[in-house]
Structure 1
Amino acid sequence: MSRELSGLYRALAGDADERALPAPDRLRRRADRRAHLRAALGGLTVAVLVAGTAAGTRMVLTAGPDATPGPPAASPDPGSPSPTPATPPPTPSRSSVPPSSPARTPDAPAGTTAAGAGVSPTRIPDRAFFVLAAANDAGTGSTFGPGPVFPALCGATPGEAGVVTRRVRTLAFKLATTPQGYVPDGSYKHSITVYRPGRADDALADLRRAVRDCPTRPGTADTEGLTSTQRLLPDGGYGDESVLFEVRRPATDYEGAPDVREVVRLVRAVRVGNVVTVLWELGWEGTSSPRSQVDQDSRRAVDAIRNWLD
C-alpha cells in the first residue's frame, strides 16, 4: 500500500471516531417521523386526484352530450393587443323572414283557395251579386242566363281568355225620385267572371285595347244606319283597377222624344283580385245611363264581391 493511501485511511478512521452514533430509541423516532410524512403526502395526493376527477365530471355533465371540450385558454401575451370579441350575427327581422306559401284559409268560401293577392273561386254563389238599394229597387227582380258581357266592339271579344267560371244576370232599377210602380229608369247586364291567376288584369288590358281600336262601329239590327262611337273615360277608385267607357249613338224615332237626340250607354269593368265584375247599363225604352246611379251600384257590386271573397 502506498504512503498516500495509508494517510487517507488514517484520516478517515480519525474522523469516524470523532462522530458518536445516536442512541437506538432516537433512530426509531426519526424513522417513525419519516414514515408518517410519507403517509400524509400520499393521502394529500389521492385527495387532489379525487377532487380533480369530480370537477371534470361536473363540467362534462353540464355541457351536455354534444359538447366538445375546447382548447386550453392561452395566456395573453403582455406585449400583444387584446383580441376584439367577435360580433354576433344579426338576428333576422320579422320582415326579412320569407312568407310561407299561401294555403286555404279555414273561413274561405267553399270552392276557393288562397291565391296571392286575391281568391280563385271555382263557383259563383248568388250572394256574390249586389242588391239594389231599397230606393232603387224597381220590384222586377233579376234573371240569370247566358249572354255577352260587353257591347260589340268591332268583332273583338275581350276577356274570354283564362276564364274559370262566369255568371250573368239582368236587372232593372229606378231612380230614387221615381215613384214605385212607374216604368224603370234603366237596366243592367251584370256579370261576374273568375279568371285563372294573372289573367284578370290581362282581361282589362284587352278591354282597353278593344275600345281604343274601335272608335266607331255601324248600327245593329235595332239601330240600322246609326253609327255609334266608343271612347274610354277617366276612372278610378273601384276595386284593384277599373275600366269605364261609353257608347254614344243618335236616338231612334221610337226613342224619340223631341228633346232626346242622343243615347249614352256606360260600361264599367272592375277587377278584384282574380275576379272581374261588369256593369253594362242598357237603359229602358231609350233612356240614357245616369252616371251617378252607375257609380253607386258599381260600389255596391265591389263591396258584394269583397264580402264574398273575405
Structure 2
Amino acid sequence: MRNQRRLQLATVGLAAVLTATGCTAAGPADAGGTGGGGGGGGMSAPVPSTSTAPATLPPLSARPVPDRAPTVIPVRAFMALPEEMRFGQIRVGTQFDRAVPPLCGGEFAAGRMAAATAAVVSAYQLRDEPSEGSLWPGVVYQTIRTYNGSGSAAFMRGLRADLASCTSFTRAGVPFRVRTAALSGVGDEALTIDLIQPQTDLPGNPIGGDQINRIVVIRVGDTVTILWDAPYENSSSKPAVVADFARRAVDTIHVWRS
C-alpha cells in the first residue's frame, strides 16, 4: 500500500475572478525551467467544490466565439471535475509558473498579444480506485490564457516550433524525453506533450520502465488552455483520463464564451 500524502494546495487571496487585465512576466520556480508568460498574481483561494459544471457536459457548441478577448477569466471558465473524481478542493488558484512544467526553455511564455492569464489546480481520484486505503490522488493543473487578434494561433505555431527542437533535457540530474503529437477533434487545434523520465520508487530508486506525464495544449478561438496531469507519488498519466479532462475543458470554455 502506498504511503498517503495529501496535496498541500497553496492559496493566494480570495476572489471570484482569478486574474485582472493584462499579463506580467513570471519566472520559473526551477532555474532550469521555462520562463512563463502571464503571471497569475492575486488569484483566488479555494473555490467551494459546490461550484460545478454540468455533470454531463453538452456537445461542443457550434456558436462562434466573440472576437474581443476577455481581460478577466472567471472561475466558471475552468473545468470542474465530476463529483465522483473529486479529492478535496477543486479549482484552487495558483501561480502560472507552478501550473506548467519546465521544459527546455520558454516554450509556454505568453507572448505580447496575451490579454489575460489564470491558473488553477485540482486533486482527483480515479473512478475505479477504492475510496480508502490504497487510493492515491492525481493532480491536474489548468491554465487559461486569452489573446488579442491572431495571438492564440501565433502562440500555437511558436510552441510547435519550440518543441521541434526540445526532444530531451536534464533537470536536477534526471534525464527527460519529450514526445509531442497532434491531437485531433479537440478545440480548433491541439497537441499532447508527454514528459518521459525513468520510473523510480518513492525514495527515488530506479525500478525500471518509464514514468510518463501528459500535457495537453488546446486552442479554442482566441483562448488557449494548458492541462498538465502532473506527477504525484511518481505516478504516470492515464491517457483516457487526460482525454476526458481535455474534452471537459473545451466544453466549459465554449459555455463560458457563449
Is 1:233 the counterpart of 2:181? The answer is: yes
SS in 1 for 2:119: strand
Q: Which is bigger in relative contact order (C-alpha 8 A, separation at least 6)?
A: 2
Asked if the contact 2:201/2:234 (under 8 Å) is kept, the reply is: no
2:154 maps to 1:206: no
Higher fraction of helix: 1
Runs of 4+ in 1 over 3 A off after TM superposition: 115-119, 181-185, 255-260
Do the aligned partners of residues 255 and 199 (structure 1) sit closer, same or farther apart at CA in structure 2, a change above 3 Å counting?
A: farther
Matched, 1:136 2:85: yes
**Alpha-carbon deviation of 1:206?**
1.4
Alpha-carbon spacing, 1:295–1:252, altered in 2? closer, same or farther (3 Å): same
Aligned to 2:116: 165
Instruction: Select the residue among 138, 141, 144 that pairs with 1:192.
Output: 144
**TM-score (normalizing by structure 2):** 0.68
Name the CA distance, whole Å, in 1 between partners of 2:194 and 2:213. 6
| Separation of aligned partners in 1, 2:83 and 2:116 | 30
Deviations 1:149-195 (Å, cap 9, x if unpaired)? 43222222434111111111111111111123454342112110011
Distance 2:197 2:123 in 1: 22
Identity of aligned residues (%): 26
Task: Identify which of 243, 249, 256 aligns with 1:295.
Answer: 243
Q: Is the Cα contact below 8 Å between 2:190 and 2:217 reproduced in 1?
A: yes
Alignment match, 1:263: 211
Q: Which amino acid aligns with 2:101?
A: P
1:240-287 superposed Cα distances (whole Å, 9 cap, x missing partner): 111211110112342668866321010101111101111011021110
**Distance in structure 2 (CA, Å) of the matches to 1:243 and 1:255:** 33
Using the alignment, how far apart are the partners of 2:212 and 2:187 within structure 1?
Answer: 24
Structure 1 letter corresponding to 2:193: F
Q: For 1:208 and 1:154, how far apart are their aligned partners in 2?
A: 13
Contact 1:158 1:206 survives alignment (8 Å): no
Other-structure match for 1:279: 227
3-state secondary structure, aligned to 2:108: coil
- Following the alignment from structure 1 to structure 2, what is the Cα–Cα distance between the partners of residues 184 and 140? 15
Matches within 5 A, 1:1-310: 118-148=67-97, 149-161=99-111, 162-181=113-132, 183-219=135-171, 224-254=172-202, 261-310=209-258
Amino acid at match of 2:115: V
Structure 1 alignment gaps of length 5 or more: 1-110
List alignment gaps of at least 5 residues for structure 2: 1-20, 22-63
Deviation of residue 125 (structure 1)? Answer: 0.7
Distance 1:306 1:234, change over 3 A: same
Contact 1:170 1:189 in 2 (8 A): yes
Q: 1:206-229, CA deviations, whole angstroms, 9 ceiling, x for partnerless residues?
A: 11112111111012xxxx322101
> Residue 116 and residue 280 in structure 1: after superposition, are their counterparts in 2 closer, same or farther (change >3 A)?
closer
TM-score by length of 1: 0.57
In 2: Cα distance, 1:186 partner to 1:180 partner: 13
* Equivalenced residues, count: 193
> How many angstroms apart in 2 are the aligned matches of 1:181 and 1:227?
34
Native 8 Å contact 1:268 1:279 kept in 2: yes
